[in-house]
Amino acid sequence: MSGRSNNDRSDLTAKAGGVIVAVVTPLEAELAAVIRSADPRLAVLYEPDLLPPTRFPGDHRGDATFRRTDAQEDRWRAMLGSAEVFFGLPGDSGPGLAEAVRIAPRLRWVQGTAAGAGEQVRAAGLPAEELDRIAVTTSSGIHGSQLAEFAFLGLLALNKDLPRLIRDKAARHWDHYPVRELAGQTILIVGFGSIGEEIARRAKAFGMRVIGVNRSGASDSPNVDKMQGIDSLSEMLPAADAVVLALPSTHETRQMIDAEAIGLMRDGAILVNVGRGAVVDEDALVAALESGRLRGAALDVFATEPLPPDSPLWDLPNVLISPHTAALSIHENARIVELFCENLRRYLAGEELINRIDPRLMY
């Protein structure tokens, strides 16, 4: 929650003449105008010349070579220092957030642009008193559609043997052979949040049986055939033809898919990871892929990013590699702003914020 009652919020708004929101990440002017129009009590600080040029639509970090002049730096620090709310993380990074917090004594809430903003907050190393003072919310939920599409890109490519099609085309080779179909297969979704729901909905459309594990062991989704707690993962893995990971990186999930877990997967199973790379023991995964025990993998995230040039994953024909871009969309910023505006309404009303990070779990 915002940490204030409705009366406290009304008093603060009246005294300050409005809630000051600073846009601290690159954003289109028309979307800054949407934020400005969300409530008359808002004073939105949006100065594009203080933000780095973008490299692509939806870029929240911008050109790494960008530098502010001394005059611009003074304006930047003044803007941060006056704000109660940030849209985005300065520099789209933990260190950028840590530096901004030191010069923003009025800051009470930061809306992250990433679903995994908890990792950026962890990297900021903020002391407990700052984590108590400042609410941080993520953009979790807005990327589900894109990530589900990537998951099925991988499942279809590997079931229909796209690598063979590409090789045969290059060799002008013509042959007939059967391929697998998704209908009738079982898909295990590990981490069943908004992303998991989008994956499950598409899986049902393909005629798949959907099982999942999450923290609660329960789900009211109409697209799930069986849901159990995360402690049941070892008994669920052998039942799946495809395993899709949609987990955050926490001390509980790191290396959860290790050699033992991979060993429990069916021969010929496919692994998809759209969560966080730290969840998977990549050495164990490479061994299972090289031996052919796993049919293949579709990976958007990796233990080290960018993926090192000497990683054996680059050379495996049964691996689809995406450079952590599967969630990106030309519509991303509009969706984040829509979420932010709903959270602004809640913040002004003293209500619970959507996607607030638990500082103990960092997600």
Please check whether residues 107 and 171 belong to one and the same domain. Answer: no
Using 50, 70 and 90 to split pLDDT, how confident is the model at 15? Answer: very low
| Rounded distance between C-alpha atoms, residue 174 and residue 216, angstroms | 50
Residue 362 lies in a domain: no
| Active-site choice (60, 108, 202, 276) | 276
Does 55 qualify as catalytic in the annotation? Answer: no
Please check whether residues 84 and 153 belong to one and the same domain. Answer: no
Please check whether residues 44 and 58 belong to one and the same domain. Answer: yes
- Mean per-residue pLDDT, 249-264: 95
Residue 357 lies in a domain: no
- Please answer whether residues 27 and 54 qualify as being in contact, where contact means their C-beta atoms are separated by less than 8 angstroms: no
pLDDT of residue 34: 98
| Active-site choice (305, 331, 342, 345) | 305
Please check whether residues 192 and 205 belong to one and the same domain. Answer: yes
Does 133 qualify as catalytic in the annotation? Answer: no
**Helix or strand holding residue 178 (H, E):** none
Residue 354 lies in a domain: no
81-90 pLDDT, tens digit each: 999 999 999 9
Does 61 qualify as catalytic in the annotation? Answer: no
The residue range of the domain holding 237 is 144-321
Q: Which residue's structure tokens are 């969706």?
A: 335
Please check whether residues 185 and 311 belong to one and the same domain. Answer: yes
Residue 178 lies in a domain: yes
Check the CA dihedral 59-155-316-253 and report its sign. positive
pLDDT of residue 7: 33
Using 50, 70 and 90 to split pLDDT, how confident is the model at 361? Answer: confident
52 or 251, greater pLDDT? 52
Please check whether residues 15 and 119 belong to one and the same domain. Answer: yes
248 or 66, greater pLDDT? 66
Please give the mean pLDDT across all residues of the chain: 94
11 has pLDDT over 90: no
Please check whether residues 153 and 301 belong to one and the same domain. Answer: yes
| Rounded distance between C-alpha atoms, residue 244 and residue 112, angstroms | 25
Residue 108 lies in a domain: yes
Please check whether residues 249 and 315 belong to one and the same domain. Answer: yes
Please check whether residues 27 and 172 belong to one and the same domain. Answer: no
Q: Residue 96 sits in a domain of what CATH number?
A: 3.40.50.720
283-338 pLDDT, tens digit each: 999 999 999 999 999 999 999 999 999 999 999 999 999 999 999 999 999 999 99
Residue 259 lies in a domain: yes
- Chain-centroid distance, C-alpha 354: 15
Considering the entire predicted model, what is its pTM? 0.88
Please check whether residues 340 and 204 belong to one and the same domain. Answer: no
84-141 pLDDT, tens digit each: 999 999 999 999 999 999 999 999 999 999 988 999 999 999 999 999 999 999 999 9
176-234 pLDDT, tens digit each: 999 999 999 999 999 999 999 999 999 999 999 999 999 999 999 999 999 999 999 99
Residue 1 lies in a domain: no
Using 50, 70 and 90 to split pLDDT, how confident is the model at 17? Answer: low
80 has pLDDT over 60: yes
Q: Which residue's structure tokens are 């052979």?
A: 177
